[in-house]
Copies of this chain bind each other. A is one copy, B any other.
Amino acid sequence: MKLSDGVEAAIHCAAVLAQLNGEATLPGSALAELHGLSPSYLLKHLQALTAAKILESIPGPNGGYRLAKAPERISLLDIVLAVEGHQPAFRCGEIRQRGPGALEAEAYVKPCGIKVAMLKAERAWRAVLAETKLSQIVSGYEADADPRAVAFNCAFIARHQRPQGETSLKKSK
């Protein structure tokens, strides 16, 4: 069992976008550069997050990505499901209905006990992810990470973010 690598990248990106000012956006290429990831591949995951209404995308020059809602309302589960899909990790193949001794399909009204137990464990996993919000990740980062890393991140965001709404400040460089 393995979560796809895209999950990690997606959470990191969402955490960065949570630090933008107001309606500002950040282009996908900047997110890729900041994390040292391939732009072409990262865009796929950003699109998945956009389709899941976690991010918003603004096309055109001065466009980019931003969060679609407050970081307190985005959970890690939202992000994981957007990237990984909604299928449970345990897929019951109904082995009990195979082999000699198999009965008609109608005989299997009660769900397989093994499936029930596995899905119960998965619900516990999802519950923890659901109560962990993006805002907690961000404040944890700002509190625990090396101040130099935080400062660099902050400056990088300030340098690349695009203010939205009106034609306003000129980018200094």
Contact = CB atoms under 8 A, between A and B. Distances in A.
A70 interface: no
A103 B149 contact: yes
Contacts of A117: 76, 129, 132, 136-137
Contacts of A20: none
Interface stretch (A1-9, A45-53, A55-63, A164-172): A1-9
Contact of A96 (B12, B100, B148): B12
B125 A12 contact: no
Interface string A71-100: 000001000000010010111110110111
B8 A90 contact: yes
A165 B34 CA distance: 66
Interface residues of A, number: 62
Contacts of A15: 114
Nearest to A129: B121
Interface of A: 1-5, 7-9, 11-12, 15, 33-37, 76, 84, 87, 89-93, 95-96, 98-103, 107-108, 110, 113-114, 116-118, 120-122, 124-129, 132, 136-137, 140-141, 144-146, 148-149, 152-153, 156
